[in-house]
């Protein structure tokens, strides 16, 4: 099949500029692009003046529920939400049941992604067996099966000794450890960031310093071992300062954040809204501003959806007892584009954080407009607005922290290997 996109703007090959022109897809790959390509015989023409064509989004971190938690989300429902959000590749957390600590489960997740026909699933494997934080998983076998990195998902590796071993062991296979940066002892039993708001609401607090303490320890361990550590969903100014300094020293340290941490602050929990109970918790406005600055100056390497599907029964509880986590696949692009509208990020920078940057981190052939690359594409209207409504989102998970939020940036179509899978 031949598809020609005409009268569009697209993210250029090096992701530093939006240019106007045409793009040609043949046999599932990007055949050519430029100001004027002519019309091949039999081509299907898509004209979308005013729209932007970018690579399919690459989500650096999402939990999909299956296997084990299908009542929250299934791979099929997550694929539906991803396609509607312009996402064509997802790095999948190993926090299912059983956890992904066996090569057979790595193969299963990859195969289930292929079965959807709309999204590539790239599994993380557990850093420790069974996510128990007691002994390391079999990194060599898991890498050979296709694992992209090792992590215990939303559980921090608490033991300094075990984290040191994990960094050393993973480094021997050319792999990274992805850490949930939160000191478990300081965070235990907490529901919101410590401070005046948590006290006023009567909620047990988690000090913001719990993040920086874990980050500082693991940076030192990365320096000690020569290993590579990646910090997930960074949310505080202090942690970002530590990461910035580590990068300046040339250490193998990277990080990402998620939309709630640059779009919302702790005031969003003011009515005990459990959809806004997240891990890490929403922070003070000064921290939110620091995250925005980290996106702009390159300290933060990528934006991930941090998709954590939850059932209604997980959230219909008192705030302190509700399960943390927010759905994020369908809103990933729109919330990120709000930073473009607010002039905190350029459009190329925002799209790079969602496409080529996470793809390069994962080491996959995705996230770029380049001849001969798979035609994983997202076409969106940057000026068309929509309202986030829990209960009406694509997919099964509806626990969005952005319920009621007006966003600009409507996905008009998503293509996987040249095949239209949404729109």
**Residue positions annotated with a catalytic role:** 306
Greatest distance between any 2 Cα atoms in the chain: 68
267: Cβ contacts below 8 Å, ≥ 6 apart:
197, 285
How far is 207 from 290, CA to CA, in rounded Å? 17
- Compute the residue count for the chain: 423
The 3 state secondary structure assigned to the chain is CEEEEEEEEEECCCCCCEEEEEEEEECCEEEEEECCCCCCCCCEEEECCCCEEEECEEEEEECCCCCCCCCCCCHHHHHHHHHHCCEEEEEECCCCCCCCCCHHHHHHHHHHHHHHCCCEEEECEECEHHHCCCCECCHHHHHHHCCCCEECCCCCCCCHHHHHHHHHHHHHCCCEEEECCCCHHHHCCCCEECCHHHHHHCCCEECCHHHHHHHHHHHHHHHHHCCEEEECCCCCHHHHHHHHHHHHCCCCEEEEECCHHHHCCHHHHCCCCHHHCCCCCCCCHHHHHHHHHHHHHCCCCEECCCECCCCHHHHCCCCCCCCCCECCCCCHHHHHHHHHHCCCCCHHHHHHHHCHHHHHHHCCCCCCCCCCCECCEEEEEEEEEEECCCCCCCCCCCCCCCCCCEEEEEEEEEEECCEEEEC
Q: What distances in angstroms separate CA 407 from CA 23, 140, 325, 333, 387, one per listed residue?
A: 27, 43, 21, 9, 6
How far is 170 from 136, CA to CA, in rounded Å? 10
């Amino acid at each position: 099949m031949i598809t020609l996109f005409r009268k569009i703007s697209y993210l250029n090959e090096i992701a530093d500029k939006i240019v106007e022109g045409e793009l040609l897809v043949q046999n599932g790959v990007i055949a050519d692009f430029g100001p004027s390509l002519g019309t091949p015989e039999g081509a299907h023409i898509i004209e979308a003046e005013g729209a932007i064509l970018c690579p399919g989004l690459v989500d650096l971190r999402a939990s999909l529920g299956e296997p084990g938690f299908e009542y929250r989300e299934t791979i099929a429902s997550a694929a539906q939400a991803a396609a509607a959000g312009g996402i064509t590749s997802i790095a999948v957390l190993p926090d299912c049941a059983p956890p992904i600590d066996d090569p057979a489960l790595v193969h299963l997740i990859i195969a289930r992604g292929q079965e959807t026909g709309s999204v590539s699933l790239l599994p993380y494997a557990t850093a420790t067996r069974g996510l128990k934080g007691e002994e390391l998983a079999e990194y060599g076998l898991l890498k050979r099966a296709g694992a992209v990195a090792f992590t215990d998902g939303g559980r921090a590796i608490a033991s300094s000794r075990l984290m040191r071993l994990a960094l050393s062991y993973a480094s021997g296979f050319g792999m990274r450890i992805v850490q949930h940066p939160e000191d478990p002892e300081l965070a235990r039993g907490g529901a919101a960031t410590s401070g005046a708001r948590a006290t006023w609401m009567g909620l047990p607090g988690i000090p913001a310093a719990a993040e920086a303490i874990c980050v500082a320890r693991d940076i030192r361990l990365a320096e000690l071992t020569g290993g590579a550590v990646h910090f997930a969903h960074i949310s505080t100014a202090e942690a970002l300062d530590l990461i910035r300094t580590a990068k300046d020293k040339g250490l193998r340290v990277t990080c990402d954040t998620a939309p709630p941490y640059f779009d919302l602050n702790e005031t969003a929990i003011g009515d005990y809204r459990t959809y806004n109970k997240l891990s890490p918790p929403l922070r003070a406005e000064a921290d939110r501003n620091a995250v925005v600055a980290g996106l702009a100056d390159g300290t933060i390497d990528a934006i991930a959806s941090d998709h954590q599907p939850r059932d209604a029964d997980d959230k219909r509880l008192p705030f302190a007892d509700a399960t943390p986590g927010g759905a994020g696949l369908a809103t990933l692009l729109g919330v990120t584009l709000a930073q473009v509208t607010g002039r905190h990020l350029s459009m190329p920078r925002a799209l790079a954080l969602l496409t080529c940057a996470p793809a390069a981190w994962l080491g996959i052939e995705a996230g770029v407009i380049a001849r001969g690359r798979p035609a994983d594409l997202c076409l969106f209207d940057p000026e068309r607005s929509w309202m986030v409504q829990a209960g009406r989102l694509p997919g099964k998970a509806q626990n969005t922290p952005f319920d009621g939020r007006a966003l600009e940036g409507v996905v008009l179509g998503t293509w996987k290997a040249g095949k239209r899978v949404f729109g």
